[in-house]
């Protein structure tokens, strides 16, 4: 069986950390409100002049080092982002340039917070079809640049960062233990577009715009959609929730993560949570959480890992990986 095996994981977080208490100096909010409603304590914020492709390139370098590879080994770069440096070209081609890769191909994926799961599924299909052999799959965001810093209902929720993995084509022989991406499921429903969106863009206002969110509506849809797609993904691969070693969800909100974990019947110890220290970094949140759990030794070779995300669109999806 041809599989896309995960060879390395890496991440990058901007140096600047902003705590809830610091935010409370400029917007009418409190550490207590934020921690209680969403479980966030602090977030990283990119410096002036630090762009999404810079964060992405740093995360990519760290994933390549972790894989023991160089950029010469890579023939595909996929960047999941909602906050590219420019309207065009893609952040992925800028990352390609910054890493000194002059072969292969690179492109962005836009599925907001679900972007990394979409990117894993996409790269997996390019690898399985034979169009690529080794892919750098990156989730990177400077989401802080889409925020209205006077709107307390949104500005407290997000942060900046990047995470990356290296995926490699491997022919897993009969009788060998299976590994790599086993299956993925992607979903979207554009009827919900205005429940979570940015009111700008090249074709509408010609400005970048700011995040608008119907928070309670997003919350209402999140847990059900997440659990549905997780069950569908497990069923596709012939597994059940009990087989999972780790659940690595999109880190939007501790209450959504806890709600989905409880509905799935997953013990809390199997759920990787980093929303407290990263906040919601959109497409970067899943690979950032992955790199924490791989880095501290929780996720090990042979473990069955479910990645999951849901975001604007709505888009949602899950990917089941034998590590
Ligand atoms: N600090 C203090 N008070 C606040 C803040 C804040 N930062 N933000 C809102 N409030 C106030 C509101 O103004 C409101 O006050 P009022 O009752 O006087 O009008 C009160 O808190 C309650 O507001 P609600 O919006 O009803 O609060 P709710 O309990 O629904 O919590 C929240 C809001 C946390 C956003 C919740 O709806 C939620 O978690 N939604 C999910 C959204 C999410 O996680 N989005 C992330 C992106 S989506 C994704 O990635 C899946």
Q: How crowded is the C-beta side of 189, counted as CA atoms within 13 Å? A: 10
Question: Is there an atom of ligand 1 within 6 Å of 165 CB?
Answer: no
**pTM (predicted TM-score):** 0.97
pLDDT computed for residue 124 by the predictor: 98
In which element (H, E) is residue 223 found? Answer: helix 215-237
Query: Which residue's alpha carbon is at the smallest distance from atom 15 of ligand 1?
Result: 153
How do the domains of the chain map onto residue ranges?
2-171, 180-322
Question: Is there an atom of ligand 1 within 6 Å of 153 CB?
Answer: yes
d(CA 132, CA 123): 8
Contacts 24+ apart (CB under 8 A), 211-219: 211/143, 211/146, 211/147, 211/148, 211/154, 211/158, 212/154, 213/153, 213/154, 215/153, 219/253, 219/255, 219/256
* Distance in Å, CA 215 to ligand 1 centroid: 6
Indicate the pLDDT class of residue 159, thresholds 50, 70 and 90. very high
Fold entry, domain 2-171: Peroxisomal Thiolase; Chain A, domain 1 (3.40.47)
Supply the mean pLDDT for the chain: 98
Q: Do domains 2-171 and 180-322 have the same CATH topology?
A: yes
Question: Is there an atom of ligand 1 within 6 Å of 90 CB?
Answer: no
ipTM of the complex: 0.93
Indicate the pLDDT class of residue 11, thresholds 50, 70 and 90. very high
Look up residue 98 and give its two tokens.
Answer: 């910054």
pLDDT in tens, 55-77: 999 999 999 999 999 999 999 99
Rounded-to-10 torsion of CA 183, 259, 36, 311? 40
pLDDT in tens, 24-41: 999 999 999 999 999 999
Which residues are tagged catalytic? 113, 250, 280
Radius of gyration of the chain (CA): 18
Class of domain 180-322 (CATH, top level):
alpha beta
* Distance in Å, CA 176 to ligand 1 centroid: 49
Look up residue 1 and give its two tokens.
Answer: 């069986």
Question: Is there an atom of ligand 1 within 6 Å of 186 CB?
Answer: no
């Amino acid at each position: 069986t041809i599989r896309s095996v995960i060879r390395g994981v890496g991440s990058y977080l901007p140096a600047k950390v902003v705590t809830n208490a610091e935010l409370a100096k400029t917007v009418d909010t409190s550490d207590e409100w934020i921690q209680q409603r969403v479980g966030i304590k602090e977030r990283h914020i990119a410096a002036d002049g630090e762009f999404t492709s810079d964060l992405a390139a740093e995360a990519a370098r760290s994933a390549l080092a972790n894989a023991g590879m160089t950029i010469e080994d890579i023939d595909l770069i996929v960047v999941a982002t909602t906050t590219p440096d420019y309207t065009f070209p893609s952040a992925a081609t800028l990352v390609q340039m910054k890493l000194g890769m002059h072969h292969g191909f690179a492109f962005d994926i836009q599925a907001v917070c679900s972007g990394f799961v979409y990117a894993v599924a996409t790269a997996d299909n390019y690898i399985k079809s034979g169009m690529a052999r080794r892919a750098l799959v990156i989730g990177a965001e400077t989401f802080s640049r889409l925020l209205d810093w006077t709107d307390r209902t949104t500005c407290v929720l997000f942060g900046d960062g990047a995470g990356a993995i290296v995926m490699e084509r491997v022919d897993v022989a009969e009788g060998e233990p299976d590994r790599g991406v086993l299956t993925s499921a992607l979903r979207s429903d554009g009827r919900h577009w205005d429940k979570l969106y940015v009111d700008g863009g090249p074709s509408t206002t010609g400005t970048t715009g700011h995040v608008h969110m119907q928070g309670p509506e997003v919350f209402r849809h999140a847990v059900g959609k997440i659990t549905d797609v997780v069950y569908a993904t497990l069923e596709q691969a012939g597994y059940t929730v009990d087989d999972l070693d780790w659940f690595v969800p999109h880190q939007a909100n501790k209450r959504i993560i806890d709600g989905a974990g409880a509905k799935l019947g997953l013990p809390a110890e199997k759920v990787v949570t980093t929303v407290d220290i990263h906040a919601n970094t959109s497409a970067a949140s899943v690979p950032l959480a992955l790199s924490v759990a791989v880095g501290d030794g929780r996720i090990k070779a042979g473990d069955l890992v479910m990645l999951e995300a849901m975001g604007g669109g709505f888009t949602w999806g899950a990917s089941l990986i034998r590590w």
